[in-house]
Amino acid sequence: MRIVLVGPPGAGKGTQAAYLAKNLAIPHISTGDLFRANISQGTELGLRAKGYMDAGQLVPDEVTIGMARDRMNQPDAENGFLLDGFPRNVAQAEALDEALQADGVKLDAVLDLEVPEDEVVKRIAGRRICRNDSSHVFHVTYSRPKQDGVCDVCGGELYQRDDDSEDTVRKRLEVYHTQTEPIIDYYKAQGLVVTISALGKVAEVTGRAMDALERSS
Ligand code: AP5
Ligand code: ZN
């Protein structure tokens, strides 16, 4: 399956993507994670992306689209993928359509995670991520690690993302409404959008997402 996951910052895209990708046996491709990996490795791409990310703005399309395409061209993504955080504006959605068309394949579904803004703010404020692996995501209240500041999975140090400060979150939400939400209408016109509520326990949301994807295929 080829799936796009969309939803506001903090909706739980990364959390859900980890389970969905495993259930569906497809790679989880997160442009945010790819940028953060480049930043921690000190690459030129990472240096370019960091200023935009810290300001809560989108990294320019010419950087993002090339990086996403390179990742989608890896052998493990040949038969499907779960895109998280890409596309993030209509220009990126059009570029993705062009790339898929050139490969003679299509998207199967766009899964839209709906969460009220006050919940999103709470989820982001308490989020802690593992330095060793960004798919190890915790929350100081909702999914507490056994030991404060330590990853349950690998023992790595948990940290708070630089762009999770209150001001930057406000900017990211604004960017989501103005630049990313329009892709939902873009994909509605293609009949691809399935919307689910992302409220409730993580496993409940995964169940809802799996049911919705099954119904849509
Ligand atoms: P990115 O990394 O994509 O961030 P985002 O879209 O803002 O999403 P988040 O990672 O903040 O949230 P999430 O929905 O994954 O939530 P999570 O699962 O962690 O992008 C960051 C930046 O990179 C962008 O601002 C931009 O600068 C740049 N960028 C990335 N892609 C780009 C692109 N395509 N074009 C241009 N620029 C790009 O969950 C959040 C918290 O909630 C966690 O603590 C989790 O434990 C908790 N939680 C999850 N589910 C539940 C639940 N059901 N109940 C209770 N708590 C829950
Ligand atoms: Zn870890």
Domain ranges of the chain: 2-115+181-216
Per-residue pLDDT at 80: 97
CA distance 18 to 31: 14
Establish whether residue 8 lines the binding site of ligand 1, counting it when its CB lies within 6 angstroms of any ligand atom: no
Number of Cβ within a 10 Å radius of residue 163: 21
**How does pLDDT run along the chain (217 residues), one tens digit per residue?**
999 999 999 999 999 999 999 999 999 999 999 999 999 999 999 999 999 999 999 999 999 999 999 999 999 999 999 999 999 999 999 999 999 999 999 999 999 999 999 999 999 999 999 999 888 999 999 999 999 999 999 999 999 998 998 889 999 999 999 999 999 999 999 999 999 999 999 999 999 999 999 988 7
Superfamily the domain 2-115+181-216 falls into: P-loop containing nucleotide triphosphate hydrolases (3.40.50.300)
Residue nearest ligand 1's atom 17 by CA? 12
Find residue 28's DSSP bridge partners: 82
End-to-end CA distance of the chain: 9
pLDDT at 187: 98
Indicate which residues carry an active-site annotation.
Answer: 13, 88, 127, 161, 172
Instruction: Give the pLDDT score at 92.
Output: 98
Give the ligand 1 atom nearest the CA of 137.
Answer: 46
CA dihedral 160, 49, 133, 140 (to 10 degrees): 20
Distance from residue 95's CA to the centre of ligand 1 (Å): 22
pLDDT at residue 135, rounded to an integer: 84
pLDDT at residue number 68: 97
CA of 131 to the centre of ligand 2 (A): 7
The residue among 1, 10, 3 whose CA lies nearest residue 198 is 10
Task: Give residue 16's pLDDT.
Answer: 96
Ligand 2 centroid distance, CA of 155 (Å): 6
- Closest Cα partner for 164 from 156, 173, 155? 173
Find out whether 29 and 77 touch, Cβ atoms under 8 Å: yes
Pocket flag, ligand 1, residue 11 (CB < 6 Å): yes
